[in-house]
Structure 1
Amino acid sequence: MVFEPPQRLVRALDETAPDGGVDWLGKLPGAAREAVALRGLSVERVQVPGGRSSLVVLVRTADGTPAVLKLAPARARPLSERAALAHWNGLGAVRLMEPSSPDGALLLERLHPDVSVRSLPEAKALLEAAATLRRLWVEPPAGDAAHAFETVAERTGRQAEAMRSGAAASPEVAPLVSAALAAREELLAAPPEHRLLHGTFRQSKVLSAERMPWLAVGPDPVVGEHAFDLARLVRDRVEDLVAQPSGAATTRRRVKRLAESLEVDRERLRGWTLFRAVESGVRARRVGRDRDAELLLEFAGWL
C-alpha cells in the first residue's frame, strides 16, 4: 500500500516545521511500511483528513482485531503521548495495544474515527467533552516517569517568547499580548493543583468508542492545573461564537458554566482562556492563517 500523507498533515508541517517536516514526510512511507511489517498488521486505509501532526492508519492485528497505527515526528512528542496513555491505562482515553514500541509508532485501540462529540448539539457536546476531560485529571506518575512531561510553566514560557516576537512584528496585537502575558504571570504564581493534563483538549479530540461512549485521543500532555486544560475547550466552535450577535455574552456564560461544572476557579479559567486564545491567534497570524487569527483575537478580546 502507498502511505500518502493527507494534505491537512502536509500543510500543517509546512506551516510549523518546513525543513524538518519535509524530511520527515519523505521518510514517512518507508517508516509506515516498516511499522506495519514489524507488527504483522493488515492495512485498511489511511485516515483522512486525519490530524495536523501525525499519520493515522486504520489497521487490523494478526488476529483480526481493529486497531490504529499512529506515526508522528519527534516534534509532536510521541514518547510523551505514549507515557500519558500508559498512565491513564484506558481511563477516559484511548488504550495502548502494545506495552512498548521499538520504532516510536503507537498502536492504539480502534475508536470510531469519524464520530466526535462535535457531531452532537453544542450544549450536549460541551457536557460530554467536559465529563471525559475530568477523567484524565489524575496525579502524574512519580519518579523517572514524571520527566516525560513538560510543565505548564515550561510550555507557556516558550509560547510567551514567540508571542512577544509576534507583538513586535504586529503592534496592533500588542495590547492583547500584554494582557495575556500578565495573566500568565499571575496564574503561575500560585497554581492550585498539579495534575496530568491532556494538553490540547477540544471536542474533536473526543471520539465515540465501544467500551465507553466517548474517549479522548491525541494528547500533548502537560502537568499543571485543571484550568489550563479546560481553557482550550472554552473556545470550541469559535467560528460559530464570532458569527453570533451575542458571541461575547455566550462566551462569558460558557466560561461560567464550565468552571462551575468542573469545579474550576472562574477567573483562573478566564485567564488561561485569554492566554491560550492570544497565543493561538498570534501563531496563526505568523504562519499566514489570517482568518483563524482574526477569529481567535476577536474571541480573546471578549475575555
Structure 2
Amino acid sequence: MGDGPTGNLRANISAWYGEAGRRWLAGLPDSVAAYARRWGLKPVGAPFPGGNISHVVPVRRFDGTASALKLFIPDAENAAEATALHHYDGDGAVRLLEHDPAGAMLIERAEPGHALVDEPDRVGAVAIAAAILRRLWRVPGTTPPGFADYPRVPDVTRAWRAGLAASRCLPAALAGRAAATAGELTVPDGPEGLVNRDPHLGNFVAAERAPWLLIDPKPLIGERAFDAGWLIARQLADRPDAGTVTELVEAVADGLCVARERAAAWALVRASATAHWTIATGDGETAFSRGFRAAAVLLADAAASRRDVPHP
C-alpha cells in the first residue's frame, strides 16, 4: 500500500528523465520499503495525488507521528529543498524530519491539508501566499554538512535572458522586452535571502498548527521581489484576464512589501521565460504555453500603459 507512482508522475518522469527516470519509477516500491525500514515508518494510504516530479506517501513514524515520505530525483531546482526546510525550521513551512541527499525526505504531514488554490477568492488567496513568502524570506545560516547549497537568482535570470534574447518561440517585441527586463533584474534590488522558484497556490496547505504552510519549496538566494514573479504569472496563465492584472500585482507586491513595478517586472520575465522554454524544449504549442504567453502579453501591455500615463 502506498508504493505505486501516480499516472501523472509516471508520465512526467519518463518524459523528463528518460530511461533513468523509468528505472527510478520501477524501483519506487523497493525505495518506499527501504526508507520505511531505515526511518521506522509505516505507510498508511495511497500516494498523494498531484505530484509532478515527486512521489509522496502518507506514513506514520515509530512514535505515531503523522508524516509524509517524499521521494524524488535530485536536480538543480529541488536539490536544496531540504536545506530550505532546515533553515525555515517549521516557521511558515512544514518541518523537515529526516533527509537523504540521494533523493528522499521525511516531512511533517500538514492536516487537514486542503490547498490554498481551492479558495474561491483568488486575489485573497495570492495575498495570503505573498504574506507567507514574506515571512519565509530570510538570510539563511551556514549550509550544514550533507545539505545542498542554494542556486542564486542572478545566475538563473541570466540564463532566462539568454534564452529570451534568442527566442523564436515568442513574438519578437515580447521576447525583446522580456530579455531587456531580465537584464535589468540581474542586479538585485536590496538584500538577498531565501526565495522560491515555484510558489503556486497548490503548494500552500492548511495545517493544524498554522492556517497555511508551504510544503514544496524550490529555493534560491535572491531579492524579495523575486517571489512575486511566479505567483502573479501563474495566476494570469491559468485565467488570462486584463481586468485583474493590476489587482493581482498590487495584492502580491503589497503582501511581500516590495515595489509593484518590480513585482510586475519579475512576473513578465517568469511568464515569458516559461512560455519560451515550454515551446523550445519540444512540448510545442500547448494550453500551458499559450496561457503563459497570454500572461506575458497582458503584463507587457500593463507596463506599457503605466509608462503612457502622464505624471504630474
Name the TM-score, length of structure 2 as normaliser: 0.86
In 2, Cα distance between equivalents of 1:277 and 1:101? 33
Q: Please give the secondary structure, in 1, of the residue aligned with 2:4.
A: coil
Q: Does 1:250 align with 2:244?
A: yes
Q: 1:148 to 1:8 in 2, by over 3 A?
A: same
In 2, Cα distance between equivalents of 1:20 and 1:176? 37
1:268 Cα offset (Å): 1.3
Q: Is the 8 A contact 2:237 2:295 kept in 1?
A: no
Amino acid at match of 1:116: A
Amino acid at match of 2:6: P
Identity of aligned residues (%): 32
In 2, Cα distance between equivalents of 1:201 and 1:30? 31
Q: Does 1:292 align with 2:293?
A: no
In 2, Cα distance between equivalents of 1:143 and 1:42? 30
Q: Which residue number corresponds to residue 196 of structure 2?
A: 198
Q: Is the 8 A contact 1:57 1:68 kept in 2?
A: yes
Root-mean-square deviation (CA), in Å?
A: 2.4
Q: Is the 8 A contact 1:58 1:66 kept in 2?
A: yes
Q: Which runs of 5+ in 1 are unaligned?
A: none
In 2, Cα distance between equivalents of 1:296 and 1:102? 33
Q: Which of 221, 229, 238 lines up with 1:223 in the alignment?
A: 221
Q: 1:113 to 1:219 in 2, by over 3 A?
A: farther
Q: Which runs of 5+ in 2 are unaligned?
A: 300-312
Q: Please give the secondary structure, in 2, of the residue aligned with 1:196.
A: strand
1:137 Cα offset (Å): 0.4
1:143 Cα offset (Å): 6.6
Equivalent positions of 1:97-116 (< 5 A) are: 97-98=97-98, 100-101=99-100, 104-112=103-111, 114-116=113-115
In 2, Cα distance between equivalents of 1:93 and 1:6? 25
1:219 Cα offset (Å): 0.8
Q: Please give the secondary structure, in 2, of the residue aligned with 1:222.
A: strand
Q: Answer 1 or 2: which has greater helix percent.
A: 1
1:76 Cα offset (Å): 6.0
Q: Is the 8 A contact 2:2 2:46 kept in 1?
A: no
Q: Which residue number corresponds to residue 42 of structure 1?
A: 42
1:164 Cα offset (Å): 5.1
Q: Please give the secondary structure, in 1, of the residue aligned with 2:67.
A: strand
Count of matched residue pairs = 295
Q: Does 1:265 align with 2:259?
A: yes
1:102 Cα offset (Å): 7.3
In 2, Cα distance between equivalents of 1:89 and 1:274? 32
Name the TM-score, length of structure 1 as normaliser: 0.88
Q: Please give the secondary structure, in 2, of the residue aligned with 1:264.
A: coil
Q: Please give the secondary structure, in 2, of the residue aligned with 1:58.
A: strand
Q: 1:289 to 1:36 in 2, by over 3 A?
A: farther
Q: 1:23 to 1:277 in 2, by over 3 A?
A: same
Deviation string 1:56-107 (CA, Å, 9 cap, x unpaired) is 0000011211100001101265541111100010010000123x53754111
Q: Please give the secondary structure, in 2, of the residue aligned with 1:302.
A: helix
1:161 Cα offset (Å): 4.3
In 1, Cα distance between equivalents of 2:13 and 2:284? 13
Q: 1:240 to 1:158 in 2, by over 3 A?
A: closer
Q: Which residue number corresponds to residue 62 of structure 2?
A: 62
1:269 Cα offset (Å): 1.0
Of the structure 1 ranges 66-75 and 14-23, higher mean CA displacement relative to structure 2 is found in 14-23
Q: Is the 8 A contact 1:16 1:287 kept in 2?
A: no
Deviation string 1:139-197 (CA, Å, 9 cap, x unpaired) is 122477797100001223334444456x23x3x43332222111111111343220111
Q: Which residue number corresponds to residue 183 of structure 2?
A: 185
In 1, Cα distance between equivalents of 2:89 and 2:243? 39
Q: Is the 8 A contact 1:241 1:250 kept in 2?
A: no
Amino acid at match of 1:269: A
Q: Which residue number corresponds to residue 302 of structure 2?
A: none
In 1, Cα distance between equivalents of 2:231 and 2:9? 22
1:265 Cα offset (Å): 1.3
Q: Is the 8 A contact 1:94 1:217 kept in 2?
A: yes
Q: Is the 8 A contact 1:53 1:76 kept in 2?
A: no
Equivalent positions of 1:1-303 (< 5 A) are: 1=1, 3-75=3-75, 78-98=78-98, 100-101=99-100, 104-112=103-111, 114-120=113-119, 121-142=121-142, 148-163=149-164, 167-168=167-168, 170=169, 172-238=170-236, 241-242=239-240, 247-285=241-279, 286-288=282-284, 290-303=286-299
